[in-house]
Amino acid sequence: MVPSVGARPSRILQKIGRPTVEVVIVADAKAGGELIAGAMAELLRRKPDALLGVATGSTPLPVYQALASMVDSGAADTSRARIAQLDEYVGLPTDHPESYRSVVRREVLEPLGIGMDAFMGPDGTAEDVQAACEAYDRRLAEAGGVDLQLLGIGTDGHIGFNEPCSSLASRTRIKTLTEQTRVDNARFFGGDIGQVPHHVITQGIGTILEARHLVLLATGEGKADAVAATVEGPVAAVCPASALQLHPHATVVVDEAAAAELKLAGYFRHTYAGKPDWQGI
Protein backbone atom coordinates (compact mmCIF):
# COMPACT_ATOMS: atom_id res chain seq x y z
CA MET A 1 0.00 0.00 0.00
CA VAL A 2 1.42 3.36 -1.05
CA PRO A 3 1.43 5.87 1.83
CA SER A 4 -0.58 9.05 1.42
CA VAL A 5 1.23 12.20 0.31
CA GLY A 6 0.44 13.70 3.69
CA ALA A 7 2.69 11.23 5.49
CA ARG A 8 6.10 12.29 6.78
CA PRO A 9 8.59 12.53 3.85
CA SER A 10 11.20 10.32 5.50
CA ARG A 11 8.60 7.62 6.17
CA ILE A 12 7.45 7.61 2.54
CA LEU A 13 10.99 7.37 1.22
CA GLN A 14 11.69 4.46 3.57
CA LYS A 15 8.67 2.58 2.23
CA ILE A 16 8.67 3.35 -1.50
CA GLY A 17 12.13 4.86 -2.04
CA ARG A 18 13.09 6.63 -5.24
CA PRO A 19 13.22 5.23 -8.76
CA THR A 20 16.72 4.15 -9.76
CA VAL A 21 16.74 6.76 -12.52
CA GLU A 22 14.10 9.46 -12.46
CA VAL A 23 13.49 11.06 -15.84
CA VAL A 24 12.03 14.57 -15.90
CA ILE A 25 10.91 15.93 -19.26
CA VAL A 26 10.85 19.73 -19.46
CA ALA A 27 9.89 22.16 -22.19
CA ASP A 28 13.34 23.51 -22.96
CA ALA A 29 16.87 24.10 -21.69
CA LYS A 30 15.83 27.15 -19.67
CA ALA A 31 13.20 25.14 -17.78
CA GLY A 32 15.72 22.38 -17.15
CA GLY A 33 18.24 24.88 -15.82
CA GLU A 34 15.68 26.41 -13.46
CA LEU A 35 14.59 23.00 -12.16
CA ILE A 36 18.15 21.89 -11.37
CA ALA A 37 19.11 25.28 -9.92
CA GLY A 38 16.10 25.00 -7.63
CA ALA A 39 17.31 21.60 -6.43
CA MET A 40 20.76 23.04 -5.75
CA ALA A 41 19.26 25.96 -3.84
CA GLU A 42 17.19 23.58 -1.72
CA LEU A 43 20.25 21.44 -1.03
CA LEU A 44 22.14 24.55 0.12
CA ARG A 45 19.28 25.46 2.44
CA ARG A 46 19.62 22.06 4.11
CA LYS A 47 23.41 21.97 3.93
CA PRO A 48 24.95 25.42 3.36
CA ASP A 49 28.46 24.05 2.76
CA ALA A 50 27.35 21.39 0.28
CA LEU A 51 29.93 20.25 -2.26
CA LEU A 52 28.53 20.78 -5.77
CA GLY A 53 30.16 18.91 -8.63
CA VAL A 54 30.10 20.93 -11.84
CA ALA A 55 30.52 20.14 -15.51
CA THR A 56 31.70 22.39 -18.33
CA GLY A 57 30.33 22.91 -21.83
CA SER A 58 27.27 24.70 -23.15
CA THR A 59 24.63 22.33 -21.76
CA PRO A 60 24.95 23.23 -18.03
CA LEU A 61 25.08 27.01 -18.60
CA PRO A 62 21.31 27.46 -18.02
CA VAL A 63 21.76 25.85 -14.60
CA TYR A 64 24.49 28.25 -13.55
CA GLN A 65 22.61 31.23 -14.97
CA ALA A 66 19.41 30.29 -13.13
CA LEU A 67 21.27 29.73 -9.85
CA ALA A 68 23.08 33.06 -10.21
CA SER A 69 19.71 34.79 -10.70
CA MET A 70 18.44 33.12 -7.53
CA VAL A 71 21.52 34.34 -5.64
CA ASP A 72 21.01 37.88 -6.94
CA SER A 73 17.37 37.86 -5.84
CA GLY A 74 18.11 36.38 -2.43
CA ALA A 75 16.35 33.10 -3.22
CA ALA A 76 19.57 31.09 -2.88
CA ASP A 77 22.65 31.41 -0.69
CA THR A 78 25.94 30.11 -2.09
CA SER A 79 28.17 31.92 0.41
CA ARG A 80 29.35 28.65 1.98
CA ALA A 81 29.00 26.37 -1.03
CA ARG A 82 31.98 24.37 -2.28
CA ILE A 83 32.66 23.49 -5.92
CA ALA A 84 34.36 20.38 -7.35
CA GLN A 85 35.56 20.04 -10.93
CA LEU A 86 34.72 17.00 -13.06
CA ASP A 87 37.69 16.98 -15.42
CA GLU A 88 40.68 18.98 -16.67
CA TYR A 89 43.05 19.15 -19.63
CA VAL A 90 46.57 17.78 -19.06
CA GLY A 91 49.44 20.18 -19.72
CA LEU A 92 47.34 23.30 -20.20
CA PRO A 93 48.42 26.14 -17.89
CA THR A 94 45.85 26.77 -15.16
CA ASP A 95 45.52 30.40 -16.28
CA HIS A 96 44.84 29.46 -19.91
CA PRO A 97 41.35 30.77 -20.76
CA GLU A 98 40.24 27.31 -21.93
CA SER A 99 41.57 25.30 -19.00
CA TYR A 100 38.51 23.95 -17.26
CA ARG A 101 39.65 25.62 -14.06
CA SER A 102 39.41 28.97 -15.87
CA VAL A 103 36.05 28.03 -17.39
CA VAL A 104 34.63 27.07 -13.99
CA ARG A 105 35.94 30.29 -12.47
CA ARG A 106 34.34 32.32 -15.27
CA GLU A 107 31.02 30.50 -15.59
CA VAL A 108 30.37 29.23 -12.06
CA LEU A 109 32.46 30.74 -9.28
CA GLU A 110 32.36 34.41 -10.24
CA PRO A 111 28.61 34.55 -11.08
CA LEU A 112 27.81 32.76 -7.81
CA GLY A 113 30.17 34.84 -5.70
CA ILE A 114 32.25 31.82 -4.67
CA GLY A 115 35.98 32.24 -4.05
CA MET A 116 38.77 29.97 -5.27
CA ASP A 117 39.31 28.87 -1.67
CA ALA A 118 36.06 26.91 -1.96
CA PHE A 119 37.11 25.22 -5.23
CA MET A 120 38.82 21.90 -5.80
CA GLY A 121 39.97 20.32 -9.04
CA PRO A 122 42.58 17.93 -10.43
CA ASP A 123 46.05 19.29 -11.22
CA GLY A 124 46.50 18.98 -14.97
CA THR A 125 49.97 20.54 -14.79
CA ALA A 126 51.46 17.98 -12.40
CA GLU A 127 54.64 16.17 -13.44
CA ASP A 128 53.22 12.94 -12.02
CA VAL A 129 49.72 12.89 -13.50
CA GLN A 130 48.78 9.53 -11.99
CA ALA A 131 49.67 10.79 -8.52
CA ALA A 132 47.57 13.90 -9.19
CA CYS A 133 44.61 11.70 -10.12
CA GLU A 134 44.91 9.66 -6.95
CA ALA A 135 45.33 12.83 -4.89
CA TYR A 136 42.11 14.29 -6.30
CA ASP A 137 40.14 11.15 -5.46
CA ARG A 138 41.46 11.37 -1.89
CA ARG A 139 40.66 15.06 -1.65
CA LEU A 140 37.05 14.47 -2.68
CA ALA A 141 36.70 11.79 -0.03
CA GLU A 142 38.35 13.93 2.64
CA ALA A 143 35.93 16.75 1.78
CA GLY A 144 33.03 14.46 2.66
CA GLY A 145 32.14 13.52 -0.91
CA VAL A 146 30.17 15.32 -3.58
CA ASP A 147 26.59 16.09 -2.54
CA LEU A 148 25.22 16.79 -6.02
CA GLN A 149 27.10 16.10 -9.25
CA LEU A 150 25.87 17.81 -12.39
CA LEU A 151 26.61 15.91 -15.60
CA GLY A 152 26.27 16.39 -19.32
CA ILE A 153 26.25 13.56 -21.84
CA GLY A 154 27.95 13.05 -25.19
CA THR A 155 26.18 11.78 -28.26
CA ASP A 156 27.98 8.46 -27.67
CA GLY A 157 26.82 8.30 -24.05
CA HIS A 158 30.04 9.48 -22.41
CA ILE A 159 30.02 11.32 -19.08
CA GLY A 160 33.02 13.38 -18.05
CA PHE A 161 35.68 12.12 -20.42
CA ASN A 162 34.73 8.49 -19.84
CA GLU A 163 34.41 7.38 -23.44
CA PRO A 164 32.52 4.21 -24.47
CA CYS A 165 33.99 1.02 -22.97
CA SER A 166 35.40 2.84 -19.96
CA SER A 167 35.33 0.68 -16.85
CA LEU A 168 32.22 1.24 -14.78
CA ALA A 169 34.44 0.97 -11.68
CA SER A 170 37.06 3.45 -12.94
CA ARG A 171 38.59 6.06 -10.66
CA THR A 172 39.93 9.52 -11.47
CA ARG A 173 42.55 8.93 -14.16
CA ILE A 174 44.25 10.19 -17.31
CA LYS A 175 42.45 9.60 -20.62
CA THR A 176 43.52 10.08 -24.23
CA LEU A 177 41.08 12.21 -26.21
CA THR A 178 39.72 10.73 -29.41
CA GLU A 179 40.41 12.60 -32.62
CA GLN A 180 36.71 13.46 -32.93
CA THR A 181 36.66 14.95 -29.44
CA ARG A 182 39.68 17.08 -30.29
CA VAL A 183 38.00 18.20 -33.52
CA ASP A 184 34.83 19.06 -31.57
CA ASN A 185 36.80 21.04 -28.96
CA ALA A 186 38.91 22.92 -31.50
CA ARG A 187 36.20 25.62 -31.64
CA PHE A 188 37.31 26.71 -28.16
CA PHE A 189 40.90 27.07 -29.42
CA GLY A 190 40.31 29.32 -32.40
CA GLY A 191 39.56 26.35 -34.64
CA ASP A 192 43.14 25.07 -34.33
CA ILE A 193 43.11 21.39 -33.39
CA GLY A 194 46.85 21.59 -32.83
CA GLN A 195 46.16 23.66 -29.71
CA VAL A 196 43.81 21.07 -28.20
CA PRO A 197 45.56 18.86 -25.62
CA HIS A 198 45.72 15.14 -26.31
CA HIS A 199 45.03 14.10 -22.71
CA VAL A 200 42.70 14.94 -19.84
CA ILE A 201 42.20 14.01 -16.22
CA THR A 202 38.65 12.90 -15.57
CA GLN A 203 36.75 11.58 -12.62
CA GLY A 204 36.12 7.93 -13.36
CA ILE A 205 32.68 6.40 -13.46
CA GLY A 206 33.26 4.77 -10.09
CA THR A 207 34.25 8.14 -8.65
CA ILE A 208 31.20 9.85 -10.16
CA LEU A 209 28.90 7.19 -8.71
CA GLU A 210 30.05 8.08 -5.20
CA ALA A 211 28.23 11.44 -5.31
CA ARG A 212 25.05 11.43 -3.24
CA HIS A 213 22.86 12.76 -6.05
CA LEU A 214 23.60 12.58 -9.77
CA VAL A 215 21.79 15.02 -12.07
CA LEU A 216 22.28 14.66 -15.81
CA LEU A 217 21.00 17.41 -18.11
CA ALA A 218 20.57 16.71 -21.83
CA THR A 219 19.10 19.02 -24.45
CA GLY A 220 18.65 18.81 -28.19
CA GLU A 221 17.75 16.04 -30.61
CA GLY A 222 21.40 15.07 -30.97
CA LYS A 223 21.32 13.62 -27.45
CA ALA A 224 18.08 11.63 -27.88
CA ASP A 225 19.67 8.27 -28.70
CA ALA A 226 22.19 8.57 -25.86
CA VAL A 227 19.46 9.47 -23.37
CA ALA A 228 17.36 6.46 -24.38
CA ALA A 229 20.36 4.15 -24.07
CA THR A 230 21.19 5.64 -20.67
CA VAL A 231 17.82 5.09 -19.00
CA GLU A 232 16.11 2.38 -21.05
CA GLY A 233 19.01 0.30 -22.33
CA PRO A 234 21.16 -2.23 -20.48
CA VAL A 235 23.89 -1.17 -18.10
CA ALA A 236 26.90 -1.49 -20.36
CA ALA A 237 30.31 0.11 -20.71
CA VAL A 238 29.53 0.91 -24.34
CA CYS A 239 27.19 3.60 -22.92
CA PRO A 240 29.05 4.95 -19.87
CA ALA A 241 26.07 7.04 -18.72
CA SER A 242 24.02 3.85 -18.29
CA ALA A 243 25.94 3.42 -15.02
CA LEU A 244 23.46 5.93 -13.57
CA GLN A 245 21.08 2.97 -13.34
CA LEU A 246 23.29 1.63 -10.57
CA HIS A 247 22.91 4.76 -8.44
CA PRO A 248 20.25 5.07 -5.70
CA HIS A 249 19.49 8.74 -6.50
CA ALA A 250 19.98 9.65 -10.15
CA THR A 251 17.92 12.22 -12.04
CA VAL A 252 17.95 12.75 -15.81
CA VAL A 253 16.46 16.07 -16.94
CA VAL A 254 15.76 16.32 -20.67
CA ASP A 255 14.01 18.74 -22.99
CA GLU A 256 11.41 17.54 -25.48
CA ALA A 257 13.96 17.06 -28.25
CA ALA A 258 16.29 14.95 -26.11
CA ALA A 259 13.30 12.86 -24.95
CA ALA A 260 12.25 12.00 -28.50
CA GLU A 261 13.53 8.40 -28.46
CA LEU A 262 12.21 7.42 -25.02
CA LYS A 263 9.73 4.55 -25.28
CA LEU A 264 8.52 5.20 -21.73
CA ALA A 265 8.13 8.96 -22.08
CA GLY A 266 4.46 8.76 -21.09
CA TYR A 267 5.31 6.86 -17.94
CA PHE A 268 8.04 9.34 -17.01
CA ARG A 269 5.64 12.26 -17.46
CA HIS A 270 2.97 10.56 -15.37
CA THR A 271 5.24 9.63 -12.45
CA TYR A 272 6.83 13.08 -12.24
CA ALA A 273 3.45 14.83 -12.41
CA GLY A 274 2.28 12.70 -9.48
CA LYS A 275 5.18 13.52 -7.15
CA PRO A 276 4.50 15.64 -4.06
CA ASP A 277 6.18 19.04 -4.29
CA TRP A 278 8.28 18.54 -1.17
CA GLN A 279 10.14 15.60 -2.68
CA GLY A 280 11.85 17.63 -5.39
CA ILE A 281 14.14 15.80 -7.79
Strand partners, 89: 200
Question: Are 54 and 60 contacting, i.e. CB atoms less than 8 angstroms apart?
Answer: yes
What span, in angstroms and rounded, lies between the C-alpha atoms of 228 and 262? 5
**Is 163 an annotated catalytic residue?**
yes
Instruction: Indicate which residue of 22, 34, 87, 147 is catalytic.
Output: 87
Instruction: Indicate which residue of 42, 134, 156, 232 is catalytic.
Output: 156
**Is 128 an annotated catalytic residue?**
no
**Is 156 an annotated catalytic residue?**
yes
Instruction: Indicate which residue of 22, 34, 158, 255 is catalytic.
Output: 158
Question: Are 66 and 34 contacting, i.e. CB atoms less than 8 angstroms apart?
Answer: yes
Instruction: Indicate which residue of 22, 123, 163, 255 is catalytic.
Output: 163
**Is 142 an annotated catalytic residue?**
no
Which residues belong to the active site? 87, 156, 158, 163
